[in-house]
Amino acid sequence: MIPFRRTQLQSEAQFSFSCSRCLQCCQHKKIQVNPYEIARLAGNLAISTTDFIARYTTENGSFLKFDETNTCLFLGSDGCRVHLDRPLVCRLFPLARHLNSMGEEWFSELEPEEGCTGRYGSKGSIREYLEEQGTVPFTRAADSYLKLLWEMMDKLEDSGSGEEHGEELDNSPDEDEVWLDMDAAMRSYCSKREIPFPLDVEEKTRIHQNALQQWITKQ
């Protein structure tokens, strides 16, 4: 259970936070990373998302790996080594963003981290804080993936009816689930369609989401 100071906050709610780089929030955490965030981080390190997932993530690529002292692998002596491409939850901290399938968005303010020397205030708004942190492309990507996720969840819920008599056998190899691995998914997608492999992360994300949408429709 995450201790919230305030919750159900809208983006215009008063909020400010002055970080003093004590780095407490880079330890003892679980950092979720979606395909867009993995692609940004992989791009920062000039490696493929396949390599990134293998080297820096856990739980099938859904979370960043931490070291034996429970510290983020990207924390260096001068702070975050991938700061320009840091994930959304790192940008949000000490806020949390919530979004449901109705498209309703709200925020929570977390209790100060033990040992955190940052200062909470009310000089600005949550919206202004998020702009400063450069969250826009990250929330846009997360929201697009969430729409696809809700669609998949609906399909799964509906799968309980009307398919009781399927006897069709499929002898093709097991489908390899690589949707979190954008480069692997795009290599296969682009090769089959004979289209160039996109190098730009935003473009790659757009095509990746189109491919995922097509896959969902086909299921």
Partner 1 sequence: MNKSTKKVIAMAAAVASLGASLGVATESQAAVEKAKAKVDTTKTKQATQIKTATQVKTPAASKTSNQIKWENKKK
Sites of contact with partner 1 (CB under 8 A): 2, 25, 28-35, 37, 59-63, 66, 70, 88-90, 92-93, 96-101, 108, 110, 142, 145-146, 148-150, 152-153, 155-157, 159-161, 163-170, 174-175, 177, 179-180, 216, 219
| Least distance from partner 1 to the Cβ atom of residue 120, Å | 16
> Which of 170/194 has CB closer to partner 1?
170
User: What's the closest the beta carbon of residue 111 comes to partner 1, in angstroms?
Assistant: 10
How would you label 154-172 residue by residue, b for 16+ Cβ within 10 Å and e otherwise? eeeeeeeeeeeeeeeeeee
Q: Residue 159 or residue 214: which is nearer to partner 1 going by CB?
A: 159
Query: Per the structure block, which two tokens stand in for 189?
Result: 């997608």
CB of 163 to partner 1, least distance (A): 5
Give the single-character DSSP code of 193. Answer: H
- Beta-carbon contacts of 10 under 8 Å, excluding residues fewer than 6 positions away, are 106, 107, 126
CB of 118 to partner 1, least distance (A): 13
C-alpha closest to that of 25 among 73, 76, 90: 90
Cβ proximity to partner 1, 33 vs 194, nearer residue: 33
Quick one: 31 or 42, whose CB is closer to partner 1?
31
Residues 6+ apart with CB under 8 A from 183: 39, 42, 48, 49, 50, 204
- Nearest CA to 35 out of 176, 156, 219, 186 is that of 186
Identify which of residues 125 and 179 has a Cβ nearer to partner 1 in the complex.
179
